[in-house]
Amino acid sequence: MEPVIVTDSLTMNFRRCDALRGVSLEIRPGTVFALLGENGAGKTTLIRILTGFQKPSSGTCSVGGIDPTLRPGEVRRQIGYVSDSPALYDWMTVAQIGGFTASFYGPDFLSHYDEAIRRYEIQPEQKIRHLSKGQRAKVALSLALSHDPPLLIMDEPTSGLDPKVRRSFLESMIDRAATGRTVFLSSHQINEVERVADTIAILHQGRIRLHGSLTEIRESIHELVVDVDDPLRAVPAPPEPAELLMEENSGRSKQYFIRGLEGDMIESYRDMPGVTSVRTRVATLEEIFVACTSDAPALV
Amino acid sequence: MSTNASLETIVVANRQASSTTWMWWKEIRQLLPLAVLLLVVACLIIVLNAIVSSLLGSRRFALPDEMLMLVFPGLFATGAGPLLVGQERASRTLDWLALLPISSKRLITTKLLVGLSGLGVMWIAAAVMITFFSGTRGWHFGGPNLYSGSLFSYPVWIAHSVFVLVAGFFVSWKIRSQFYSLVALVPIAFAPLVCTSVLAAIQGRRFLADEVDSWALVFTAIGLAIVFPWMIRAAMRTLSPTAAPRSFTLLDQPRRRHSSSVMATAPRFSTQLAPLIWQSLNASVGTW
């Protein structure tokens, strides 16, 4: 199957910062893809490029086989997009903005929108300006989903939603992916992502630190704790092909987050002079995220 | 019940109305407050004029009704672009609109046509009001004399208001800040009249001396011919993906990587009044 989104060495340099530094990604159809990153990591810039609002400094990308920098209109026809702070016409009512948007799409749009608005228990005659932040987010989501786009792109979609709605919304994303549609969401809510995403990428300072299936990533990264008899005793980094993501020292205990840790490496740590004990466990996604977004050591 | 009724109304309306109708409805709805405000003020001034005239038995102190022909459609022409484009850019609803399957060309054309239609309505309303309050007294093609003895020259002002409207759209598409776009509009709007008056001074005749000052019309037409393609280009550029900032030289690199400290850059004040003044001045600059 052809990837829905492909980016190749995307870079975006602004006057005072480099927002993206060689981002290469491939997102398969029928998946929930989560882009994780801290604030300012470059997530929104990447989404702006993918939705045709921004041209990159260099590199290429395609969405559904179309270059959004050359044909933004065609890309936007294929997608539903929800920004983190959706700007809607606040003088319109919920029903009017639905009617207005529906006029550009097929005949089913309004019935889908109607269903969504009823589900969220929003009064259609309410003006947008009188809605709470969460209700606005619900209206924006309903508008983005009602034409049933093959690709849904969302920037921090659940900010402002209450836990109950957040849960049902995230579950609906899994249902969408099951029907062959693709969901691209950017977030820093690790728990949410862990529940719904098939594939993740961690973006840190404009670079992709990790990209792959959530299950594979979870299984491939371990926490290794090495206790030594002397706090000053040096313990070498694991040999290749293992990759050291993060290292922390706390007295006689040294903690490592390692990708590709193998059984014989653990044995070799146990045999090292001065090592009193060695413990390992699979890292949580939150720990992986923290490890990947810490500055040292760099992961290539 | 009202919830269902409201959505059903929209469903029925949607079956009948095309996207063009919805777009016109939206643009008109955005322009309506300006048009209504100007018409109300115009009516108030005319009524006030009528009262003053009847009380004093003379029109000596009253504002001439014909002034409305110039002022109110002109004000509408000035405000239409900033309202339909500038406000949408400032509130980011233009980004949301751009996500819908609407071509840039259609979006630009609809906004301009709604603006032009609104201007037409303003001129018709002004003409109706003048006729109602003044009758056909003093009507002639070029318009009556001003106090200075110059003519109003209706055709010139109508053409000029169209030019101002298009120029208003141009500056609103070109400049993101609404304040700066209005500042930029002032010299552009007056350019044809300045050219006409300069030419009149060179030729040694009075400004707008004839019923239809052909030079004013010529300069306005030239202005329109120049500004219209600029407006289209600026609009297309705004609705296209933003170009990446130009690449930086190696000399820029250390500066870009360097992170300055708050201690080095934070302003320091010796009195409690000084930060308030500093904030006010900087807020004004930021708004501009």
Give the CA distances from residue A228 to residues A269, A290, B47, in Å, rounded to whole numbers and listed in that order.
10, 24, 95
Q: Which of A240, A199, A261, A243 is nearest to A36 (CA)?
A: A199
Amino acid at A16: R
pTM recorded for the entire structure = 0.82
| Alpha carbons A30 and B208: distance in angstroms, whole number | 70
- Determine the pLDDT at residue A55: 94
- Determine the pLDDT at residue B10: 59
Q: How far is A37 from chain B (nearest CA, A)?
A: 20
DSSP A146: T
Residue range B220-239, pLDDT digits in tens: 999 999 999 999 999 999 99
pLDDT at A295 over 90: no
pLDDT band at B63 (very low <50, low <70, confident <90, very high): low
Q: Which of A55, A83, A102 has the CB atom closest to B242's CB atom?
A: A55
Residue that has been written with the tokens 């749009």 in this structure:
A109
Whether A104 and chain B come into contact, CB under 8 Å, resolves to yes
Q: Are A160 and A133 in contact (CB under 8 A)?
A: yes
Handedness of CA A68, A71, A76, A78 (dihedral sign): negative
DSSP helix/strand/coil, A239: coil
- Determine the pLDDT at residue B4: 54
Which of A177-186, B3-12, B71-80 is predicted least confidently? B3-12
Which of A130-144, B32-46, B52-66 is predicted least confidently? B52-66
pLDDT at B62 over 60: no
> Looking at residues A137-166, what average pLDDT do you find?
87
- Does B104 sit within 8 Å of A86, measured CB to CB? no
pLDDT band at B149 (very low <50, low <70, confident <90, very high): very low
> Looking at residues A90-103, what average pLDDT do you find?
94
What is the average pLDDT value for chain B, to the nearest integer? 80
pLDDT at A67 over 90: yes
pLDDT at B3 over 70: no
Strand locations in A4-144, DSSP E?
5-13, 18-27, 32-37, 58-63, 79-82
DSSP A54: B
pLDDT at B146 over 50: no
Say how far residue B76 (Cα) sits from the centre of its chain.
6
- State in Å, rounded, how far the first CA of chain B is from the last one: 48
pLDDT at B77 over 50: yes
- Does B248 sit within 8 Å of A13, measured CB to CB? yes
Whether B54 and chain A come into contact, CB under 8 Å, resolves to no
Share of chain A above pLDDT 90, in %: 47
Q: Are A43 and A200 in contact (CB under 8 A)?
A: no
- Helices B104-134 & B154-174 angle (0-180, nearest 10): 150
| Alpha carbons B163 and B188: distance in angstroms, whole number | 9
DSSP helix/strand/coil, B173: helix
Q: Which residues of A touch B93 (CB under 8 A)?
A: 87-89
DSSP A128: G
Amino acid at B281: L
Whether A194 and chain B come into contact, CB under 8 Å, resolves to no
Which of A34-48, B92-106, B129-143 is predicted least confidently? B129-143
- Does B248 sit within 8 Å of A16, measured CB to CB? no
Q: Are B183 and B86 in contact (CB under 8 A)?
A: no
| Alpha carbons A43 and A186: distance in angstroms, whole number | 7
Phi, psi of B218, deg, nearest 5: -65, -50
> Looking at residues B103-130, what average pLDDT do you find?
91
Amino acid at B176: R
**Residue A256: Cβ within 10 Å count:** 23
Closest residue in A to B88 (Cα) is A89
Q: Are B141 and B210 in contact (CB under 8 A)?
A: no
Q: Decide which of B45 and B186 is more confident.
A: B186
Q: Which residues of A touch B96 (CB under 8 A)?
A: 86-88
| Alpha carbons B38 and B25: distance in angstroms, whole number | 20
Handedness of CA B57, B60, B62, B67 (dihedral sign): positive
Which residue, among B4, B89, B99, would best test binding to A if mutated, counting the most A CBs under 10 Å from its CB? B99
